Chain A
Amino acid sequence: MLDFFNSNETIHFIITVSTMLLFTIGLYGVFTQKNLVKVLISFDIMETALFLFFIGLHYDFGRVAPIVDGNLNTFTNMVDPVPQAMILTTIVIGLAILALGLSFGIEYFRLTGTNDISKMNELRD
């Protein structure tokens, strides 16, 4: 029973199904939420789901983190470092966009007293 859970196939299956569920939850939030803050939270959930998907599928059972320390002397049997570097970059970019969006929201709130994106209809035909 436990061996079943320790196989790569099972782990990757769990990761794929769960992250896609998480992604769907975020997508649902982006479509349905009206508060700007809630929309930004939904974006972040989507992004987190993608990060977990990418890092998770590059994890194979028995591999170790790509860092050499006292016990290891060569870069062998390690997980792929490039996805980790890419995700690190994307996390920081996500924070930058989130903070910028929030500052837009604060300024808009000060001008109009609302933060509802469905009420933003100043611009139209």
Chain B
Amino acid sequence: MNLKKEFRLKHIVLSLLSSALMLSILGLLLHVKSGLHKSVGDIILTLNMETATANAVTSVVTFFRGIDTLGEVTVLFLATTGIALMLSTSQRTYEKVVHQESFILNIGSKLLLNVIILFGVYIIIHGHLSPGGGFQGGVVIATAFLLLFLANPNMHLNHFILTLGESLSGATFVLVGLIGLFKINILFGNFLPNPVSEIGELVSGGIIPIIYIIVGIKVGSEMSVIVEYFIKEDNKKEVSNA
């Protein structure tokens, strides 16, 4: 009883402290947006017509801050590698758990799978025209596989193809940057023709849709691997415990 009281007291003190801290910060933040200078975003909006990309956020993500996106893809790759390191089972022996398959679920999920993947591909290749792009579309594709796994736990993804897609798309991303270096002497420069008159068309914007497609493949395969590791983790049972 005594312990519990102490515990509560600690909670109350902590919450009071953190709210006092936040309230004092709040006082400062009420007029934080100064508008003293033209922000870099406004400059980019005036420059954006030259990239011939209808979606300014896409051109910022893939072109103006392309190296950020490469770094972000690398972070995802590192996280996937770390998860594979943690959850891979090569050192343990497991009893294989076989689940009952439901016929209707199986067929229904396979029907839905195509639609969801089509939706994901649509989001990826229209990244420079409408909201969305490589990250969003890639995750949508991964959720399609999640559905497949949930409907049929005995599923296996072809790891070779996923690894291939992941490695090659990552390498292609770097390669696109290097071609820019060799062709127009700027890393990740837009070396393909991007006439402004084509703005709003599917093939426009030079390398921007290409980079987003690469990112889509990479994110899609990485997220599918993550989902598979977590699902398979679920379906395992250690022999010693059984």
Contacts and interface: CB of A to CB of B under 8 A. Distances in A.
| Chains A and B directly touch (beta carbon < 8 Å) | yes
A32 B11 contact: yes
B22 A23 contact: yes
B36 interface: no
A41 to B, nearest CB: 16
B200 A68 contact: yes
B18 A24 contact: yes
A107 interface: yes
Interface in B75-130: 75-76, 78-79, 82-83, 86-87, 130
Nearest to B128: A67
Interface residues of B, number: 54
Interface of A: 12-13, 16-17, 20-21, 23-24, 27-28, 31-32, 57-58, 65-69, 74-76, 78, 80-85, 88-89, 92-93, 96-97, 99-100, 102-104, 106-107
Given A82-B40, A84-B57, A92-B76, A100 B87 contact: no
Interface in B3-41: 10-11, 14-15, 18-19, 21-23, 25-26, 29-30, 32-33, 39-41
B61 A67 contact: no
Contact of B79 (A82, A83, A85, A100): A100
Interface of B is mostly: helix
A20 B45 contact: no
Contact of A28 (B18, B54, B72): B18
A112 to B, nearest CB: 14
6 contacts: A28-B15, A58-B41, A67-B56, A69-B54, A82-B44, A106-B87
A103 B32 contact: no
Given A57-B33, A80-B39, A103-B86, A31 B18 contact: yes
B57 A85 contact: yes
